[in-house]
Amino acid sequence: MFWVIQTLNGISFGMLLFLLAAGLSLIYGLMKILNLTHGSFYLWGGYIGLMVVHSTGSLFLAALLSSLAIAFVGMLMERLLLRRLHLQELPQTLLTFGFLFIFSDLAIFIWGGNPQTMPKPAMFSQSVQLGDFFYPSYRLFIIAFGLLVAALLWWLQEGTRLGAMLRAGVDDEEIARALGINVSLLFTLVFALGAFLAALGGTMGGPIMGVYPGADFEVMLLGFVVVIVGGLGSLKGALVGGLIVGLLDNFGKVFFPEFALFTIFAPMALILAVRPHGLFGRE
């Protein structure tokens, strides 16, 4: 019973990590940008979602609005700034790190330094009985929601014309351009989509994780570990990596509270030693 509960906890957290890592991975796969601002998208998504929840009472509306708002912010960042630094990895690193600083400081300025809790939607505020124990239904919902998003992204990438263009852009940007694919527009769309997913994670994860200063750094690092484990540029990697890291993080916190981070990083080091580009990554 203990194992079932902790495993479900780990999987639901893994789904949130998947939302983050999917964006990181897509962005890197197409434009080779290591987006350090990704954690800020998550945190700001959470804070904006919180404001919407407080005024409308609907978590789902909040998730939609905050994700759209952050997608717009991401779009502006890509169009106005990141585009000038195409394929210059160090300036990109500095730029996205600078925004991580700016967003994190402004969040404290706007919303204060106290952790805040996001109310669960009424529909999922209860626990459900699973066999002979009770489990919060919201966490089960998050697992289903994560799987749904994964399926949608999978369909987007493999089953649509847009996805075909995306894969072409990932494989060979120049040839894709020569074939008349609007790669420049694709860049903006993918960056906005990544921001959207991160903010979605921030809002939907709010009832479980809370919304607090410093979450941006925390989830950014976990997101990177997911991508390192799963492999950059791979959707499958983001999902599998997210689940692995989610479970490791959860059991690590239960069994070795003093070395919580270590239980994630030691397996990561092991995977790196065997597969330097992650489980599903391509060189």
Partner 1 sequence: MSNLTVRHMPSSSGLATLWSMGVIVLVTLPLILPPYYVGLVVKMMVFALFAMSLDLLLGYAGMPSLGHAAYFGMAAYTTGLLALKAGWTVWLALPAGIAMAALTSVVFGLLALRTRGSYFLMITLALSQVLWGIAFGWRSLTGGDDGLPEVPRPNLSLPWSMSDNTPFYYFVLLFFVVGTLVLVRIVASPFGYVLRGIRESETRMLVLGYNVWRYKLVAFVVAAAFAGLAGCLYVYFNRFVSPDYVHVVRSAEVLLMVILGGAGTLIGPAVGATLIVLLENLISTYTERWVTVLGIIYVLVALLAPNGIAGLIASLRKQRGRP
Rg over CA atoms, the chain:
18
3-state secondary structure of 127: strand
Task: Give the residue, chosen from 54, 84, 86, 282, that forms a contact with partner 1 under the rule CB under 8 A.
Answer: 84
Report if residue 259 touches partner 1, rule: CB under 8 A: yes
Contact at 8 Å (CB) between 202 and 49? yes
Nearer to partner 1, 54 or 84 (CB): 84
**Distance between CA atoms of 140 and 136, rounded to whole angstroms?**
7
Which of these ranges, 136-144, 152-160, 176-184, 259-267, lies near partner 1 under the rule CB under 8 A?
A: 259-267
- 96's CB contacts (< 8 A; 6+ apart) are 33, 34, 35, 36, 37, 82
Question: Which 107-146 positions form the footprint of partner 1 (CB under 8 A)?
Answer: 109
Distance between CA atoms of residues 281 and 235, nearest Å: 10
* Among 9, 67, 104, 188, interactor with partner 1 by CB under 8 A: 104
Q: Which of 7, 58, 88, 157 binds partner 1 (CB under 8 A)?
A: 88
15 binds partner 1 (CB under 8 A): no
User: What's 232's DSSP letter?
Assistant: T
| 13 touching partner 1, by CB under 8 A | no
CA 131 centroid distance within chain? 32
Closest to partner 1 by CB, 149 vs 225, is 225
Question: In the complex, which residues of this chain contact partner 1 (CB under 8 A)?
Answer: 28, 32, 34, 81, 84-85, 88-95, 97-106, 109, 217, 221, 224-225, 227-228, 232, 257-262, 265, 268-269, 272-273, 276-277
